[in-house]
Chain A
Amino acid sequence: MVLYKLGVLLILTTFLFTPVHAQKIITISGFVQDARNGESLVGTLISIDSSHKSSCNSYGFYSISIPAGKHHIQYAYIGYQTFELDAVFTKDTLINAKLNTLENLIDEVVINVSGWNNSNRSVHVTPLSMSSVKLLPPLLGEADLIRSFQLLPGVSTIGDGASGFNVRGGGVDQNLVLLDEAPLYFTSHLFNLFSVANPDAVMDAVLYKTEMPARFGGRLSSVLDTRLKEGNNQKWNVAGGLGLIASRLTIEGPIKKDKSSVLISGRRSYTDVITRQSSNTDISDNSIYFYDLSTKMNFSLSNHDRLFISGYLGKDKIQSAGVFMLQWGNGTGTVRWNHVYTNKLFSNVSAIYSNYQYSLGSMSEPTSSFEWKAGIIDYTLKNTYNWYPNVNNTIYFGAEVALHEFIPGNARPTGEASIFSAINIDGQRAAEYNLFWDHEIKVSDRLSMEYGLRMSAFQSIAKDSTTVSDYEGAITERKIAYNTQQFTDWESMKWYANLQPRLSLKLQINTSSAVKASYTRTVQYLHLMTNTISTSPLDMWAPSSYNIEPEKADQVSAGYFSNLFNGKYEASAEVYYRKLYNQLDFVDGAETLLNEDLPGDILVGQGRAYGTEFYFKKNEGRFNGWISYTLSKTERKINGINNNAYYPSKYDKTHSLALVAIYQLKPRISISATYSFSTGTPATLPSSKYEFNGYSVQYNAGNYRNNYRIPAYHRLDLSATFKNKTRPGKKISGEWVVSAFNALNRRNAFSMYLRQNESSPQNLEAVRFSMIGMIIPSVTYNFKF
């Protein structure tokens, strides 16, 4: 292996070439950063004498305790030159390593480096590097993090245009999407076309789907942990892109070189400008746009203290002149303080704010004008410790408290003439208290494990004056409230407490392959009140409360992970079985918005999901990419639906295949293609009909749910990136991205249903609805200077 020394800065507090005392244990610790811009390289793999391995935490900190003596240390990170060091260590040593990126253009598409491999860690995460996200074919020129994750095994979506993603049979609301630790409650722009995170501002994203360590919780299925870039602390630079529907601009630079930096990244669509140009007044009267703004500041206060301040603001606004206005947006803010107490104990304190709100106004008629607002606000305080007692043990522990405020809906008439009366649905609060402990143990050279426990308590709290009721009635019908009780402001209404054990084991079979197994129990206290195929920005979150019990899930998973040909390829096969409890659904015709008696419309049941996932990836070379295939089944059994029998859930897809290929054609030209195939999702179709007062009424004899499948889904996307020649002496570099989304020009079904026949409304016809009905070409220009 080549030894890269350039660009590496070492701060060695002590570096003495003295004879070594064999018994003495010393600790090597520090931070690992990108030499170019000072970004923390989260997850950098540090190996000592090729045997002791550890990785950086989410702030780039590491700590390894080893016997004093001569050692060979290696730092490896995706897309970076591996740094190696041979030295004799006699005392605790601080090494802040700075890694250089691979300079060669061809190497830029190298997604992986040897040494980083999928069989190393006991907790299996699915990382997707932002550089590979940007190389995948975009929709309308916008690289999309969530859409890229859908190409990985076990991750899927209901269809084009559906918001969010589904992991191993879980709902969209069962994923915790974090942006710098702050939860995002609706993850899409323009209804569901783009995900809210601006890829230019994101440093890395990791998906926990197999195991969820105890330091994460609150959702059943997965955690998508997204971290914003910290900002370049070496020099100022600007990057941006001009696309067909949106433009992006990111500015970052040092506030004080090496010590502090700032990043501001914005993106705005000009869809409203486009619609205004239309000659069709149906379109030109309307405006629809989104923007998002991400910012982060980071201050290195001392060798032991770092402070991060980050914020995100995203908004969508849809307006039809004088008719209606709909806007929604997430806002988050996070302040984090890292402190290294000792070279073995790292702490982080985070104060997190998250706010999701929407408002909907109608002004088409003075008589029917109203404005309606709803939202959820979170305040979280979290303190996490990473403790590295010795080379075989790493412990993560901490506590988290959160206060959630729910504004389920206030609608008020606007103007004197409005016929509407004001509507106020009682608000609620909830407090969440969590303690967590994760312990990574290297039992032997072959066996390592991580066990953890998350203890959570959840308190449902009244806001102002909150009314709760019991509900009674036939199981399939809307139930009627009785036994109504009133709670006063801040009064505790209900407590729930749960223990959530987590366990994962890794058995190393040889240097390149391992078998892993895990058990995870997760509990979810926040529930998305939705009964539509895709979730919508208007769907409200509700807490576990007097009427709604927490959702729970148990998952067991096992897999075989292998690195082939010295890490050039990796392959994995996994099986999983997940059982879900207290799953929520709704009676037919339930009103999930502005409904005071929503608990009376809720149905409760269970679910199960199982499947097998295969993944094969070529990590290196001019041609790389991956194949993922998932064979799975996900079902629900809800009291009151489908005659109380199991039925396929709305996101059940038996087969799901994704092929991703990236090819570096010439040093400045790369092309990529993705192909997705999946079984059609289920649909409920009626068997019979009758005619009532001139209308055809559909009749589902037998009350089946999801008794049909829409046609299978195929999509091919293509893209090519042409980099401009960089002229000597000029700092600016640019690239053109040309892409074709849905290159097969297919009308993939999103759903199927029956509608009236236009000419004879008393008859019905079956219809296939496609969200994307044609090939969508796009051109984007990206620049950097």
Chain B
Amino acid sequence: MKLFKAIGILLIALSLNSCEDVVDVNIASENHVLVVEGSLTNLRENQYVKLYYTNPVLSDGSYEVVTKAILTLKDNLKNVEILKESSPGWYQISTIKGREGRTYTLNIKTTDGTYEAISTMPRLTMTPDTVQFKYEMKSIVYPDEGYYPVINGRELEGIGDFSQFKIFKNNKFLNKANEINLFKDEYVDGNYISNYELDIDSAFVSGDLIRVEAWSLTKENYVFWDDIQTQLNNSGIFATPLPNAHSNIFKITQESKDVTGFFGTSMVKSVQKLIP
């Protein structure tokens, strides 16, 4: 939220030369854990579920993939598909389509154990009609002078809608900690929302192409992203204890080893605009 960001910046600016220094920490390594990263959308492109193992937190090496797992995806209309491992650790969804309101169950069998994730494709609210820009000078809220995106859209009646806006600048996904744009309708249910500001790390300039993808999220998926956002922005004197990102992958058998990650189902719609 912009407001808290502004308070944070102000605090830092006024505090007594408070500072962050990168330090070495000797973090004990734990056994690696299976990660499930997957999503099913209404888009026509190929969709995947990836399986791999966690890395020590400060390593920047590549992840060890999990091959030869058996992944079964089914929906509540009794469509079933066994996912094909198209490349090591990548399991492709080919026949099952993402449709609003359907419930999908992903079953995973690996040498670590048997797991399951269930997700119902949520409706997409606050679908952006348009993306616009406003020109802002450098200030406490805006890191530099330039263009900042705002979107307009109708929030659908009925509380409990969640979504994420993913921003692409010249087709490059913006993945800074302060560029996770999550939306919930808790306080704005059913309103037409205009000039909704999206958080970005640095301003757009003339000639940039922006694409905003709106992804509908289940409540669980929203919480998962909210946890990631908390993890990455949890600094200063008002930090909260580090949360684990809430996973929706559950063990089916008791002897299964630990698992984390998320299998999400989202309706996606995008808008784009070239800044003149």
Residues of A within 8 A of B (CB): 159, 161-162, 190-193, 271, 275, 281-283, 285-286, 288, 318, 320, 323-324, 326, 360, 362, 364-368, 411, 417, 419-421, 423, 477, 531-534, 536, 588-589, 684-703, 705-706, 708, 747, 750-756, 760-774, 776
Contact = CB atoms under 8 A, between A and B. Distances in A.
Given A286-B10, A690-B35, A692-B261, A747 B237 contact: no
Interface stretch (B98-106, B173-181, B268-276): B173-181
B203 interface: no
Interface of B: 2-3, 6-7, 9-11, 13-25, 27-33, 35, 37, 52, 54-58, 60, 63, 137-141, 166, 173, 175-177, 180, 187-189, 191, 193-197, 223, 226-228, 230-232, 234-246, 258, 260-262
B29 A687 contact: yes
A558 B180 CA distance: 54
Contacts of A772: 15-18
Listed residue (B138, B238, B241) with the most chain A CB atoms within 10 angstroms of its CB = B241
For the complex of A and B, the 8 pairs showing the least CB-CB separation, nearest first, are A588-B243, A688-B54, A694-B175, A701-B30, A773-B17, A773-B19, A687-B30, A690-B35
A192 B187 CA distance: 31
B21 A770 contact: yes
A760 B18 contact: no
Contacts of B236: 751, 769
Nearest to A698: B231
B121 to A, nearest CB: 18
A139 to B, nearest CB: 8
Contacts of A281: 137-139
29 contacts: A281-B138, A285-B140, A318-B10, A320-B6, A320-B141, A362-B2, A362-B3, A364-B6, A365-B195, A411-B187, A419-B194, A534-B237, A588-B244, A589-B227, A686-B242, A688-B57, A693-B173, A694-B173, A697-B228, A699-B54, A701-B30, A750-B237, A763-B60, A766-B22, A768-B22, A771-B237, A773-B16, A773-B17, A773-B18
A456 to B, nearest CB: 32
Contact of A285 (B19, B139, B245): B139
Given A420-B188, A766-B23, A533 B239 contact: yes
Contacts of B52: 690
Contact of A702 (B30, B235, B262): B30
Given A324-B7, A688-B55, A776-B16, A695 B138 contact: no
Given A589-B243, A771-B15, 12 more contacts: A281-B138, A421-B187, A532-B239, A686-B57, A693-B166, A694-B173, A699-B244, A747-B19, A753-B239, A769-B18, A770-B19, A774-B16
Nearest to A190: B14
B223 A695 contact: no
Nearest to B19: A773
A763 B55 CA distance: 11
A761 B6 CA distance: 22
A282 to B, nearest CB: 5
B21 A688 contact: no
Contact of A367 (B25, B27, B195, B237): B195
B10 A320 contact: yes
Nearest to B178: A756
Contacts of A747: 19, 21
Nearest to B177: A756
Contact of B232 (A360, A419, A756): A756
Given A420-B187, A690-B52, A762-B175, A768 B23 contact: yes
A753 B235 contact: yes
B227 A588 contact: yes
Given A689-B55, A692-B228, A534 B238 contact: yes
Contact of B20 (A191, A282, A323, A767): A767
User: Which secondary structure dominates where chain B touches chain A?
Assistant: loop
Contact of A689 (B17, B54, B230): B54
Nearest to A535: B238
A421 B17 contact: no
Given A419-B188, A588-B227, A695-B175, A687 B16 contact: no
Given A318-B10, A367-B194, A690-B55, A760 B60 contact: yes
A761 B176 contact: yes
Contacts of B137: 281
B239 A751 contact: yes
Contacts of B16: 193, 771-774, 776
B230 A589 contact: yes
A708 B25 contact: yes
Contacts of A193: 16
B241 to A, nearest CB: 5
A693 B268 CA distance: 15
Contact of A768 (B20, B54, B246): B20
B193 A367 contact: yes
A477 B248 CA distance: 12
A419 B194 CA distance: 8
Contacts of B58: 754, 764-766
Contacts of B239: 532-533, 751, 753
B20 A419 contact: no
B242 A761 contact: no
A367 B126 CA distance: 15
A685 B237 contact: no
A345 to B, nearest CB: 49
A375 B173 CA distance: 42
Given A365-B197, A761-B175, A763-B60, A421 B188 contact: yes
Given A765-B22, A776-B16, A688 B235 contact: no
Contact of B177 (A275, A420, A686, A761): A761
B89 to A, nearest CB: 12
Contacts of B176: 756, 761
Nearest to A271: B14
A417 B150 CA distance: 15
Contact of B240 (A159, A531, A692, A776): A531
B237 A368 contact: no
B258 A192 contact: no
A648 to B, nearest CB: 12
A761 B175 CA distance: 7
A420 B155 CA distance: 12
Nearest to A159: B237
B24 A766 contact: yes
Nearest to B179: A761
A756 B20 CA distance: 13
Q: Which of A286, A477, A697, A773 has the most CB of B within 10 A?
A: A697
B184 to A, nearest CB: 11
Contacts of A754: 57-58, 231
Contacts of A708: 25, 27
A699 B6 CA distance: 28
Contacts of B24: 766
A239 B14 CA distance: 29
Contact of A767 (B21, B28, B196, B241): B21
A768 B261 contact: no
Nearest to A686: B57
Contacts of B27: 685-687, 708, 766
Contacts of B260: 690, 697, 699
